[in-house]
Amino acid sequence: MKLLALDTSSEGCSAALSLDGRVTERFELAPRGHTRLLMPMIRELLAAESMAPAALDALAFACGPGSFTGLRIATGVVQGLAYGLERPVVPVSSLAAVAAEAIMRYELAEGAGVAVAFDARMGEVYWGCYRNVGGLPELLADERVCPPDAVTLPDGVTGWLGAGSGWAFSEQMPPEVVSRVTTVDDGLVPRAAFVARLAVRDYARGRSVPAAEAQPVYLRDEVAWKKLPGR
């Protein structure tokens, strides 16, 4: 299985290549550098393996939630590659990618929970709850966007870890949620290496889509845009 994964959903920009389970990655924190960095990262990864793009079996990208502009960048690149190569695309949740890194970094026990929160601006967080199954996260409830004081944890899971920038608002979260979380890492951001690991699993489960259906996921149904005077 040869798969190229991309992520530009946050301040991080990354690309990763998974070759039969071996993952290599290029990653840089560059909030305004996604457009400049992404294609060179892809070329570097392929060149390091002396590999032509046509040798890829599939493509993957972090489809969101996350930065509106960032998500459009990865979506555009992955669609262009998928159309040109006639390859399927595996959309992967940005929240799940962070959960996957948390599971590996903290060597979580089988069945342990990861609650991922991103700062969604406008006084809200993106929220997703997962359980460690075989070293990868399985979603326990629908991902959503809500105020910090409205987040909840599913029952039946012990040993919760909190991950992602949204945990900076932990003081606004319900005490019954915070009390069940033993460790918090609010510095984790999505990375293509973990998008790749999840995409390989999801591809095997038949969760790939054609290029035209590779779309970003914003979770918000409506975004309030302020019109500039005179426009």
Q: What is the pLDDT of residues 77-101, one digit of tens each?
A: 999 999 999 999 999 999 999 999 9
Does the pLDDT at position 12 exceed 80? Answer: yes
Q: 90 and 7, same structural domain? A: yes
Enter the pTM of the model: 0.95
State whether 149 and 89 are in the same domain: no
pLDDT digits (tens, 9 = 90+) for 194-211: 999 999 999 999 999 999
pLDDT bin (cut points 50, 70, 90) of residue 227 is very low
pLDDT digits (tens, 9 = 90+) for 150-208: 999 999 998 999 999 999 999 999 999 999 999 999 999 999 999 999 999 999 999 99
Q: Which two tokens stand for residue 24?
A: 């290599």
Nearest to 96 by CA among 2, 207, 20: 207
The closest alpha carbon to 125, from 133, 137, 136, 117, belongs to 117
**Within this chain, do residues 102 and 19 fall inside the same structural domain, yes or no?**
no
Same domain, 110 and 137: yes
Indicate the residue type of 167.
W
Same domain, 74 and 124: no
Cβ-based burial of 142 (10 A; exposed 0-12, middle 13-18, buried ≥19): exposed
Helix (H) or strand (E) holding 95: helix 94-105
Residue 34 has pLDDT above 70, yes or no: yes
90 — phi, psi (to 5°)? -110, 110
Determine, yes or no, domain membership for 224: no
Distances (CA, A) of 4 to 14, 31, 37, 139: 11, 22, 15, 23
Same domain, yes or no: 89 and 99: no
Whether 178 is in a domain gets the answer: yes
Domain that holds residue 35: 2-94+190-213
Query: Which residues, in sequence order, are CB contacts of 70 under 8 Å at separation 6+?
Result: 8, 9, 10, 34
